[in-house]
Chains A and B, each alone.
Chain A
Amino acid sequence: GENVEQHPSTLSVQEGDSAVIKCTYSDSASNYFPWYKQELGKRPQLIIDIRSNVGEKKDQRIAVTLNKTAKHFSLHITETQPEDSAVYFCAAPRLYNQGGKLIFGQGTELSVKP
């Protein structure tokens, strides 16, 4: 089945710097890769996703890149702000006979220092 590894587990950056979080997946058939942001005690919120037919997707300060050959995808946040501080989760679908259930990475706790 699908296995998703996420790194780093914690990341501290200065306000204005960039942050990069990386995930690897094991199932080469996976075709959809979402990123979620979860603030303390709140729901995970979908911030960006990418499908396997593109290599990069941007939405303002957030971008996701996908390398299908290497089976990894990354979240890039530019010009970080204190409100970006949260836990970020990547996910990939478990596809074969499993209805595309999402398997989540371990999470990255991002801290943006003012």
Chain B
Amino acid sequence: GAVVSQHPSWVICKSGTSVKIECRSLDFQATTMFWYRQFPKQSLMLMATSNEGSKATYEQGVEKDKFLINHASLTLSTLTVTSAHPEDSSFYICSARESRGQPQHFGDGTRLSIL
């Protein structure tokens, strides 16, 4: 149980392109999903928290207009990197939890490379 699917797993695109990443909870309803960014050999940096049906909460220093988050249903959240540039290249991972106090379960991550 507690499977989280993230798609795509790898994206290579040109600078200026917008990229959408999907995060789905397959066997549970996720009231909250989290988006992280991870640089090589570093920890998981929380970018934003999304609750179903409400606006995402962004961490300090994360641009809302750059990283658009939508959590339209209890099983799907999307992260759109708008007008991506090489400095946005990173490993993006989502996680989902059923309710507060429950464990977070992670997706497989998306490796984003902007040329």
Contact of A43 among B49, B106, B111 (CB under 8 A): B106
Interface majority SS on B: helix, strand, loop or mixed? strand
Q: B103 interface residue, CB < 8 Å from A?
A: yes
Contact at B46–A99, with CB atoms within 8 Å? no
Contact at B105–A99, with CB atoms within 8 Å? no
Q: A18 interface residue, CB < 8 Å from B?
A: no
Bound Cα distance A65, B87 (Å): 39
Contact at B34–A101, with CB atoms within 8 Å? yes
Q: B98 interface residue, CB < 8 Å from A?
A: no
Q: How far is the CB of B94 from chain A (nearest CB, A)?
A: 10
- Enumerate B80-115 residues with CB–CB distance to A below 8 Å: 93, 100-101, 103-109, 111
Residues of chain B within 8 A (CB-CB) of A99 are: 32, 49, 51, 57, 100
Interface size on B, residues (CB 8 A): 22
Q: How far is the CB of B10 from chain A (nearest CB, A)?
A: 10
The number of inter-chain residue pairs (CB within 8 angstroms) is 46
Residues of chain B within 8 A (CB-CB) of A42 are: 108-109
Contact at A103–B49, with CB atoms within 8 Å? no
Bound Cα distance A106, B106 (Å): 17
Residues of chain A within 8 A (CB-CB) of B107 are: 43
Interface membership of chain A positions 99-114, coded 1 if the CB is closer than 8 angstroms to chain B and 0 otherwise: 1111111110100000
Contact at B42–A107, with CB atoms within 8 Å? yes
Q: Which of A42, A45, A49, A99 has the most CB of B within 10 A?
A: A99
Contact at B44–A43, with CB atoms within 8 Å? no
Bound Cα distance A113, B93 (Å): 29
Q: A32 interface residue, CB < 8 Å from B?
A: yes
- Enumerate A56-73 residues with CB–CB distance to B below 8 Å: none
Contact at B100–A44, with CB atoms within 8 Å? no
Q: How far is the CB of B23 from chain A (nearest CB, A)?
A: 11
Interface residues of B (CB under 8 A from A): 4, 32, 34, 41-44, 46, 49, 51, 57, 93, 100-101, 103-109, 111
